[in-house]
Structure 1
């Protein structure tokens, strides 16, 4: 697996952050290649980076309540 990852063969990696904007700023300031700045999505906020081997990584901060949780709360 390590050999594939170091060749950039990883299809993509998704990581979670408790503060996506702080994580973005820290990685940007450290010189990490940013492929997409933070974007608000229906599920939360995320951004993209590329690791030193060329693998794509998404870092996301999900919204506080997922749509399923909101539906359960509304039905009560």
Structure 2
């Protein structure tokens, strides 16, 4: 079976703040910015991975989500309880310094893990957990 990841989705409550973080701090490129029926989807990705995209979407964007579902998702997002993504980097410490300087919420300073990576963690402006890992010997 020939499978590849194409897109993943992250809920954000303010696309402009999310763009300032993902584009200006992390250096991801904006690939699409679409509005539809009062909602907005922004697609970003690493220049190093032109075929993989992160879609920054409104909380509860599914057309099948009930108003109660949308409210529950928005509340979980506000608490930082929704999952984010894990990025790899060649220099965890340099990335940490850059993201910390932006004022992002630090969850974990760079740490050597027993499973062979050095990683750190932050929350994006919406509260999503983002981890950044450097493989040992990278």
TM over 0.5: yes
* Aligned equivalents of 1:32, 1:12: Cα separation in 2: 15
Q: 2:136 aligns with which of 42, 63, 72?
A: 63
The answer on whether the counterparts of 1:4 and 1:10 sit within 8 Å (CA) in structure 2 is: no
**Equivalent residues in 2 for 1:7-22, closer than 5 Å:** 7=74, 8=77, 10-22=82-94
TM-score (norm: length of structure 1) = 0.72
Match of 2:38 in 1: none
Match of 1:26 in 2: 98
Q: 1:3 aligns with which of 58, 66, 69?
A: 58
Count of residues in Structure 1 that have an aligned counterpart in Structure 2: 64
How far has the Cα of 1:60 moved from its partner? Answer: 0.4
Structure 2: runs of 5 or more not aligned: 1-8, 10-56, 61-73
Determine whether 1:52 maps to 2:125.
Answer: yes
Match of 1:40 in 2: 112
Query: Could you give the per-residue CA deviations for residues 9-50 of structure 1, whole angstroms, max 9, x where no partner exists?
Result: 742210011110000011111111111111101221001100
Structure 1: runs of 5 or more not aligned: 66-76
SS at match of 1:4: coil
TM-score (norm: length of structure 2) = 0.42
CA RMSD of aligned residues (A): 2.1
Match of 1:70 in 2: none
